[in-house]
Amino acid sequence: MKSSVVSQLAPTGVLRAGINMSNFLLVTDKSTDGQPIGVSPDIAREIARLLGVDVQLISYPGPGELADGITTDSWDIGNIAAETERAKTIQFSMPYCEIQATYLLPASTAIKSFSEIDSPGHRIVVKQRSAYDLWLTENLQHASLVRTDSVDSAYDLFVNEQLEVLAGLRPKLIEQQAQLAGSRLLDESFTAVQQSIGCAHGKPEAAEFLNEQIKQWIANGFIQSLIDKHGVNGKLSVATLSV
């Protein structure tokens, strides 16, 4: 292990890892002392082990708050979805897994196809500052976005206000579809949210180390083993290994 990698990723002697607690696929539980359990925390622990340092898991209620932490030097690595706007302040590794994002429609919908979603008058409910919110903000041309502060409040607003579309991650939308009689989950996906490891810009050895580790983990099955361990097989997909 190069000393420059350790000094760049753990300058205090402890790896401070930002964990997005709202991602229910990457953080599936908490320990009795409140520590996050899941794929994301295990990845942070493995990086700390490789660096030969202790790990401090720093919990954030959502990805937006985690992303903001880079501006105050609150973490050394952030396990968060890679996204263009965030990349202005965070240097992202290659993705280690992906989660499809799509739409749920109510029983009363007049929408017949995926291509009709982005039309004038359609209101799409979305969790604010999620990776798929950022994608929709950049790519929608006609439909409007209605933002809420959590996945659950987005669903509640969608149902109670009888809005046209709910955007979200496919695994959660599958659960919500089961709660809403007659609702329809679209087969297509508008994006795949790519989960990566972020660090501050200006740390080239650290960035190279993280990329090489992810390549090894994808190739040797470590990422898949974490997906299996935490019971999210079929919901999380291992990212395609770049050639």
Q: Which pLDDT tens digit goes with each residue over 178-211? A: 999 999 999 999 998 899 999 999 999 999 999 9
Closest alpha carbon to 136 in 96, 101, 95:
101
Within the chain, all domains assigned CATH 3.40.190.10 are found at: 3-97+194-236, 99-191
pLDDT at 212 over 80: yes
Closest alpha carbon to 25 in 151, 158, 207:
151
Give the class (CATH, top level) of 3-97+194-236. Answer: alpha beta
Residues 99 and 195: their CA atoms lie apart, in Å, by 8
At 241 the pLDDT is 73
The token pair that represents 155 in the structure block: 């669903």
DSSP state of 64: H
At 1 the pLDDT is 64
User: For the segment 137-162, what is each residue's pLDDT rounded down to a tens digit?
Assistant: 999 999 999 999 999 999 999 999 99
3-state helix, strand, coil in the chain (%, to 5): 35, 25, 35
Residues 171 and 132: their CA atoms lie apart, in Å, by 14
The fold adopted by the segment(s) 99-191 is D-Maltodextrin-Binding Protein; domain 2 (3.40.190)
User: For the segment 98-134, what is each residue's pLDDT rounded down to a tens digit?
Assistant: 989 999 999 999 999 999 999 999 999 999 999 899 9
- As a dihedral over the C-alpha atoms of residue 193, residue 62, residue 82, residue 139, rounded to 10 degrees, the angle is 60
pTM summary value: 0.79
At 83 the pLDDT is 87
Split at pLDDT 50, 70, 90, the class of 42 is: very high
Closest alpha carbon to 58 in 75, 34, 33:
75
Cβ-contact 108, 127 below 8 angstroms: no
Coil, strand or helix at 110: coil
